């Protein structure tokens, strides 16, 4: 099985790659369109802001490549947000593969933005990506923007209200948290993705 990490400049690429190595998968880091198209699985990691993230994908000529993929694709953190239609962060048009908006958390008394820390995942509907996920399982989040719960939400969590933790539409999947930093739960979810 060939797995590629899209080299979109995310600072979490090394930790995602190491998490995959622990699962016995050596994922190639690439920005080459042909390599991405030929892969069995594609992961779009990302840490940073939506505007620069999309600008990098445009510079690399990867926007249409990503939109055309038919194999399983996983967006992680900012990578998940880039799969969506639009981000309030910099008023950024994203890939539009999951027709959902990305909105900034509302700040208020006792609400920290960015949201950082461990949150419980609440399954919204069954999906092969969630096999083995329990009611008390938690994942590690670091973000200031989130996708509201909608028809594409597989699992949600809560910070200043409920939001999407895991989304899917067709072959496109996203995890708002960092599976590579979410211990056994993250490893299980990555393994589930590799089994899709």
Our measurement of the distance from residue 13's CA atom to the centroid of its chain's CA atoms, rounded to an integer in Å, reads 12
DSSP-derived secondary structure letter, 107: P
Establish whether 77 is a catalytic residue: yes
What strand order describes the sheet that includes 73-76? 28-30, 3-6, 41-44, 73-76, 172-175, 162-169, 153-158, 122-123
* DSSP-derived 3-state class of residue 164: strand
Catalytic residue among 77, 84, 159, 173: 77
Does the annotation mark 180 as catalytic? yes
Catalytic residue status for 173:
no
For β-strands 162-169 and 153-158, DSSP reports them as: antiparallel
Which residues does the annotation mark as catalytic? 77, 178, 180
């Amino acid at each position: 099985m060939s797995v590629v990490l899209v080299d979109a400049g995310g600072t979490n690429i090394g930790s995602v790659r190491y998490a995959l190595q622990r699962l016995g998968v050596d994922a190639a880091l690439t920005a080459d369109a042909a390599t991405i198209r030929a892969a069995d699985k594609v992961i779009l990691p990302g840490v940073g802001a939506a505007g620069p993230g999309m600008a990098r994908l445009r510079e690399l000529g990867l926007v249409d490549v990503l939109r055309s993929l038919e194999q399983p694709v996983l967006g992680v953190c900012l990578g998940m947000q880039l799969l969506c239609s639009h981000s309030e962060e910099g008023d950024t048009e994203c890939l539009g593969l999951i027709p959902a908006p990305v909105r900034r958390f509302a700040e208020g008394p006792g609400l920290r933005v960015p949201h950082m820390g461990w949150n419980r995942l609440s399954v919204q509907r069954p999906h092969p990506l969630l096999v083995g996920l329990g009611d008390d399982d938690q994942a590690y989040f670091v973000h200031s923007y989130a996708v509201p719960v909608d028809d594409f939400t597989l699992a949600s969590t809560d910070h200043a209200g409920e939001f999407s933790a895991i989304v899917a539409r067709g072959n496109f999947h996203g995890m708002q948290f960092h599976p590579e930093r979410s211990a056994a739960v993250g490893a299980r979810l990555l393994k589930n993705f590799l089994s899709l």
